[in-house]
Amino acid sequence: MKVKMILPALTEAESPFWRPIKYSLFPPLGLATLASYLSPYDEVELQDQHVERVNLDDRPDLVVIQVYITNAYRAYAFADHYRARGVYVVLGGLHVTSLPEEAAPHADTIFLGPGEDTFPQFLRDFRAKRPQKRYSSAVRTLAGVPPIRRDLIKRHLYLVPNSIVVTRGCPHHCTFCYKDAFFEGGKTFYTQTVDDALAEIDRLPGRHLYFLDDHLLGNVKFASALFEGMKGMNRVFQGAATIDSILRGDLIEKAAEAGLRSLFVGFETFSPENLRQSNKKQNLQKDYQRAVKRLHSLGVMINGSFVFGLDDDDADVFKRTVDWGVSNGITTSTYHILTPYPGTALYADMQRQGRILTDNWDRYDTRHVVYQTRRMSAETLEEGYHWAYREFYRWSNITKASLTHDSAKHMLKHFLYSGGWKKFESLWNFLIKTRSLENMLPLLEAILSKVRTNPGPVPEQPLPAATTLTLQ
C-alpha cells in the first residue's frame, strides 16, 4: 500500500512574522510515530511543508494529515484535493480533536486524541475494507509502541533532528492549555517504560537531544530512573518543566547530572490573580527567582515562557516582564498573547462571557488578540507583545542578561545562544537554503556544554507567599 503523510505548514508561513528557522527546528515526530504502525511492505512518504514543497500530483492509497489550529485550513485544502482524486484521507491531531464536526466533512476518517491505540486499529480495518468514520482514543499506554520511523525523517533539513518524547500529557490542568481537551476520555499523563525511553535515546546519533514532553519532570519516579539511566551516555539535552518541579526535591540536580543544559519554564505570569484564572496552581506562591537561581547554579540555561493578556494584566505588564527576564539572566524568552483554543476551559469561559471575537483559526497563533480584553485594549496588547520581543532581544539587553551569571563560561554561552537564536536571521536562512542546517549541530552541542560540576546548595523550601511573587 502507498501511504502519504503530510504535516501542512502553519499559516505564519506566509506572514511577516515567519521565521524560517523556528519552523526548521523539529521534524514531524507525531507522523513518524504513526508510521511505525505501517507494515515494512508499505511504501511511505512523509512530507513536512515547513521545510519542503508538498508534491500534490500523486495518487497514493491513503493520505494521513496532522492538523494543528493554524494549519487547519491548509490541511482541509490538501484533504479536499486528494479526496477529489479518489484517495482515502484521514485527519487527526489537536485541532481535529477540538473540533471534530468541523474536520469531518474534509475526511473519510477522523481521529480524536493520541493515535497509538486508534491508528493501528484503523489500519487493520482499512486493510479489511471496513474503516470507521471516527476513532476516539480510549486506551492510554505507551507500552509496546514500536520504534519511531526515524528513517522517514529528512534529518539534514532540521536544526534539531533528535527530538524525542518519552511521556504524553501533563499532570496539571491549566485552563488555557490544550492538554485536557486532547486527552479527554482517558489518562491525561502517562510515560514510556524507562527501558523503552533509554532504548529510543540510544538509537539517536550524536550527543544532542531535545525532549518535547510537556513536562519532563512531571513523574518523579520515571524521571529519576531515566536520568539515572542516562548518566554516562554522554548526552546534552533540553526539555521543559514547571516551577514547582524545579524547586522540589533533587530531581533537577539529577537532570543536570544526566546532561540537562537548557530548560523551557512556564513562568507565564507574575500575578496571583492571573495564576488563579489559569488554574496554574503549580506556580502559585512559588519563588520564581529561587527557581532561576537553582537552574543557574547548575549551569542550566532558561527559556522563559510568558503569557500576556490575562485579565489582571494592564499595559505595564510588558516592561515588568522584560525587565524581570533581563535582570534574572533568562537566556531566551517566548512571549505569547493569551489564546483561547477551542476545547479548552478558557475558551468555554470566554464564550460564556461573549468574549470570543473571531473563529478565524489563522489568527489563533498567539500573536493576535482573538478575544475581548479587560484592562487594556487589543491594540495595546498586540503592540506590547511585539515591543517585548524587540526589547528583550536588543543587543544591550542580551549583554546585560548574560552578565548576570557568575561564571565567564555561562556568560558566553548565554550570549551566543540568545544572540545566535534571534540575531542571525540571514545566516539561518542561508543554512536552510543550502540544506546544511544539520552542520550546525556540533556548534549547538558546544554551546550546551557543561558549565560547572559542583553547584552550591540552594534552599528547597519556598519563601513566604508575600515575598514570592514580587517583581523586582
Residue among 255 and 411 whose Cβ is closer to ligand B12: 255
Q: Are strands 43-48 and 62-66 parallel, antiparallel or unpaired?
A: unpaired
303 part of the interface to ligand SF4, by CB under 6 A: no
- 3: nearest Cα among 39, 53, 52: 39
Residue among 90 and 301 whose Cβ is closer to ligand B12: 90
Out of 51, 64, 177, 398, name the contact with ligand SF4 by CB under 6 A.
177
Residue 339's contacts (CB-CB under 8 Å, 6 or more residues apart) are 176, 364, 365, 366, 370
Residue among 29 and 378 whose Cβ is closer to ligand B12: 29
Where are any strands of DSSP class E within 228-273?
Answer: 236-241, 260-268
266 part of the interface to ligand SF4, by CB under 6 A: yes
Residue among 95 and 286 whose Cβ is closer to ligand B12: 95
**Which uninterrupted H or E stretch holds 334?**
strand 332-337
Out of 4, 149, 179, 410, name the contact with ligand SF4 by CB under 6 A.
179
Query: Distance (Å, rounded) from C-alpha 165 to C-alpha 261?
Result: 17
Q: Residues 420-439: x/- map of binding to ligand SF4 (CB under 6 A)?
A: --------------------
Q: Which residues bind ligand B12 (CB under 6 A)?
A: 10, 22-23, 25-30, 33-34, 64, 66, 68-70, 90-94, 111, 114-116, 118-119, 165, 177-178, 212-214, 336, 341, 365-366
Query: Distance (Å, rounded) from C-alpha 269 to C-alpha 304?
Result: 11
Query: Distance (Å, rounded) from C-alpha 111 to C-alpha 41?
Result: 24
Question: Which one of ligand SF4, ligand B12, none interacts with residue 447, CB within 5 to 8 A by kind?
Answer: none
Residue among 128 and 408 whose Cβ is closer to ligand B12: 128
Say if residues 114 and 140 touch (Cβ distance below 8 Å).
yes
Residue among 149 and 280 whose Cβ is closer to ligand SF4: 280
Query: Distance (Å, rounded) from C-alpha 234 to C-alpha 448?
Result: 12
Size of the site for ligand SF4 (CB under 6 A): 10
Q: Residues 221-260: x/- map of binding to ligand SF4 (CB under 6 A)?
A: ---------------------x------------------
Query: Distance (Å, rounded) from C-alpha 168 to C-alpha 179?
Result: 9
- 65: nearest Cα among 102, 128, 107: 107
Q: How far is the CB of 466 from ligand B12 (least distance, A)?
A: 30
- The DSSP secondary-structure symbol of 249 reads T
367 part of the interface to ligand SF4, by CB under 6 A: no
Out of 140, 172, 367, 410, name the contact with ligand SF4 by CB under 6 A.
172
Rg value, the chain, Cα: 22
181 part of the interface to ligand SF4, by CB under 6 A: no
Buried b / exposed e across 357-386, counting CB within 10 Å, b at 16+?
eeeebbbbbbbbbbbebeebebebbbebbe
174 part of the interface to ligand SF4, by CB under 6 A: yes
Q: How far is the CB of 107 from ligand B12 (least distance, A)?
A: 9
Say if residues 183 and 114 touch (Cβ distance below 8 Å).
yes
From 157-165, 167-175, 417-425, 431-439, give the range in contact with ligand SF4 by CB under 6 A.
167-175
Q: How far is the CB of 337 from ligand B12 (least distance, A)?
A: 8
107 part of the interface to ligand SF4, by CB under 6 A: no
How many Cα atoms are found within 13 Å in the side-chain-facing hemisphere of 37?
A: 20
Out of 67, 170, 201, 236, name the contact with ligand SF4 by CB under 6 A.
170
- 304: nearest Cα among 262, 259, 261: 262
Q: How far is the CB of 344 from ligand SF4 (least distance, A)?
A: 10
Burial class (CB in 10 A: 0-12, 13-18, 19+), 151: exposed
Residue among 170 and 337 whose Cβ is closer to ligand SF4: 170
Q: Which residues bind ligand SF4 (CB under 6 A)?
A: 170, 172-174, 177, 179, 214-215, 242, 266
